[in-house]
Structure 1
Amino acid sequence: MAELQPVEAALTTLLDDVAPLPTELVSCSHAAGRVLSDAVPARLDVPPFDSSAMDGYALHHDDAGRSLPITQRITAGTIVQPLSPKSCARIFTGGELPPGADCVVMQERVEEKDNLAAIPADIPAGDNIRRRGRDVRADASLLDAGVRLDAAALGHLAGQGITEVVVRRRPRVALLSTGDEIVEPGQPLAPGQIYNSNRPMLKELLERFGGEVVLVASVPDNPEGTRDTLSRAAREVDVVISTGGVSVGEEDHVRAALESIGRLDLWRLAIRPGKPLALGRLPGEGGRTVRFIGLPGNPVSCFVGAWLFLRPLMGALLGCPALAKLPTLSARADFATNTGPRRHYMRVALEFGEQGVVAKAFRDQNSGVLSSCVGADALAVIPEQSRIAPGDIVDCLWLRVD
């Protein structure tokens, strides 16, 4: 029987020779969640001019401590005139600082009467001013290659007047389910059948990781049907994912089918949950190599495997370092556990308090108990041959997408 492989070996095998996908031009209005293929340089200074940080009065700091005539009223968007010596301008937040002024006094500190503003003394130069280019300088790097476009990044692009960006094409994914006992939600259940919980769960996770599920299919429980389904899927996608059928049972045909038409790179991991997992390659159209991941059928094993393997693969195909590696944080365990020769990934909720982060384990960690994944913030990583007591520090993989 093949030796159980560690997660690190599996990831190395999975990501070997994976290259980022081709690029495409998309509108920024449809670019949320997409990954930049190239760095985007800034076109403009942001802010584009010196402006007031608040409502008040603009003046030269040498004129502070006097009553100054108000010679202009400047709102955001107003075309300004040079400030006359020994005068001030009524200015509002975002208004352009007029030439000759070098500070702004907030309106609460000024008394205004008969078009004169009594300015307090000792106002420093630069007070309450947003300087041109404080945020971004023209020709500097605005966003780096590999950045995933979230709300702030899209706002950054809009602030430059950019309407289109070049991004990586989304990885096309086939999501296959094995087992004649698996029934889609909405259909009646016959004796011995169960609903397919893995398909909608994986579809949502894959889309969160930047992929696009373009093919869903059920795999027949026979060798010929399994081979045909894998071959057809590989012609249409970049990644083929199956659930179930990778164990050692007489009706588990996926491993044999993969070996007959493609290549099996790795099988069986030293982890809990998720020991039966297959990694390999299938021939695609035009000589392309299509990655194959055979996840276990148990829903928790499927969930854990998606975070450990599908997310890094999507990150590599998208050229996105933030996706390629899960963020890790340390927490105090509120549980006790022992491990044998397999690394355990426990579903935990995180509590953030004055004493630090506490990892609270869900009571039932069985691989068939999907409720342990509902509300899980992280996977607590318990190394092989370990004994954990309450209060011990454990590393946690934070289940979030940057």
Structure 2
Amino acid sequence: MKKQVRIGLVGYQFMGKAHSHAYRSLPFFFDTEVEPVLAAICGRNETAVKEAANQMGFESYETDWRSLIERDDIDVIDIVTPNNTHAEIAIAAAKAGKHVLTEKPLAMSVEEAEEMHDAVVSNQVIHMICHNYRFVPALTYAKKLIEEGKLGQIYHFRANYLQDFIMSPEFPLIWRLKKDVAGSGALGDLAAHSIDLAHYLVDDLTEIQALTKTFIKERPVGEMSGGLSATRAGEERGSVTVDDAVAIIGTFANGAMATFEATRFAGGNRNRNQIEINGEYGSIRWNMEDMNKLELYLAADAEGMQGFRTIDVTEESHPYMDAYWAAGHMIGYEHTFIHLIHEFMQGIATGKQPEPNFFDGLKNQAVLAAVEQAAETGQRQVVELPEIKTKSSK
């Protein structure tokens, strides 16, 4: 019988559903060395969290995350709460000897992120940050092609992450639009994913310049109501204190150039997360809205046959795909979380620290801080990347 890893989830809305689904679905597709068990879910609203526990299949619930961490029957603390709570919960969990998974961005500042990283390393717990797009099979395969030298020297990385869900001036002032809760807007919500993919696929970012913009500065007060929907709380209005859009240009340690754009004001784009990488021997293109496809151009192709080819990344030879269906039978957004949870569980089973982890989150946080500084001053900023203390925690 497999050893059980008992999960304590803090939060239960959009990401709570995604993470819960991944834990439940993992054994259907992957033969992991340990078995995740949904032991307890936590939220402040007892009625809502009790309903979530029943719906998502948790054995119990708590209304205080401190009580959850104190429980002896909890092995993992999974944090899907607003950004300003990540540090306190993660540090307490690590000190209690719990393995930790948290949503991105890791923290509200570089200083908080450093404290979180120090806590998980010093307490020798397994830790991950939920940059789930690394686990899209098409992008994992792109990583393999790049490492094999198929693109040669990388010249450009460009990323656009475009959404439109807050374009209406009457869309409520939710926590994602408040700096004291979210830290930043499109920067931390969307561009953080693109920055992580840049680090994953190309190299560390070293210098950046940036511009941010807030288009609608006042909104009716409201709350999230599931997914990316929200409801008004009354007639009161409040100030938007984060960016609505950000544009970044930068340089990688290997000399390649980077351009990023992230906005929640790109009408008609529900979740257009796309990248293009250009190298001396070829190029790669990918778009989340058609996530199973990878476009590949190779300069060595015969004259008259050159151009982007579309690879259907569903063959058994592609990353993770031998766990699913026959070739051509697509997987979706939720499977990226299953793949991440698979790596997390294997890390707990073997004691080998998976990636992306809190060190990757700390590097990402350093870039976010540099972007904010560059946008505020209008000057180029050097990214003060942290030194590697250790990437192995157990």
Report the TM-score, using the length of structure 1 for normalisation.
0.27
* Between structures 1 and 2, the one with greater strand share: 1
Report the TM-score, using the length of structure 2 for normalisation.
0.27
Q: Which has the higher contact order (CA 8 A, sep 6+)?
A: 2
* Between structures 1 and 2, the one with greater helix share: 2
Work out which of the two has the higher radius of gyration on C-alpha atoms and give 1 or 2: 1
